[in-house]
Amino acid sequence: MLSPVIEKALNEQIRVEAQSSQIYLSMASWAEVLGFEGVAQFMYAHSDEERMHMLKLVKFINERGGHAIVSALDAPPVEFGEFKEMFQELFNHEVHVSACINDLVDICLQEKDYATHNFLQWYVSEQIEEEALARNILDKIKLIGDDKGGFYLFDNDIKQLITAAAPTQQ
């Protein structure tokens, strides 16, 4: 059985994951409109992955005797400047999500809810991967600089990241 404190904190994390999915969906649409098919596919896949993170929390809360709440979300931005800015925003958002997960783990330890603490270890590991992936993409974009041909190649190459990341999406 979940304590009210844990249930509330997990429900807030549902909102964080759902908001992440919406932000990445908006990024995908923006990239697609600009003709960057690879970036759009990557962001659509990332949006789906965040939704799966949310659903995993919903099921966990309900299975543990709580009530998962689907709350209203803030509208995400519809434009992102340049790709470097968009991927910097992606990285910053992943750092924010990691901080939220860490806070949630801390609450579990304070509440002595070791079952939820154990469940959250998957999210801790996932966030390490998410931050590393975003940092890697930013490094590649920095290497490209303002080279338009480089962005064309980057758009094609990022499709490989979708395939490479697929096994960790659960």
As annotated, the binding site for Fe cation includes 17, 50, 53, 94, 127
Q: What is the Cα–Cα distance from 92 to 149, expressed in whole angstroms?
A: 27
Tokens at residue 74, please? Answer: 């803030």
Q: What is the Cα–Cα distance from 138 to 153, expressed in whole angstroms?
A: 15
- Cα–Cα distances (Å) from 140 to 43, 49, 84, 94, in that order, read 16, 22, 10, 18
CB 113 within 8 A of CB 6: yes
Secondary structure (3-state) at 48: helix
Annotated binding site: 17, 50, 53, 94, 127
Q: What is the Cα–Cα distance from 113 to 104, expressed in whole angstroms?
A: 11
Q: What is the Cα–Cα distance from 112 to 75, expressed in whole angstroms?
A: 36
The HSE-up count of residue 22 (CA atoms within 13 Å, CB side) is: 14
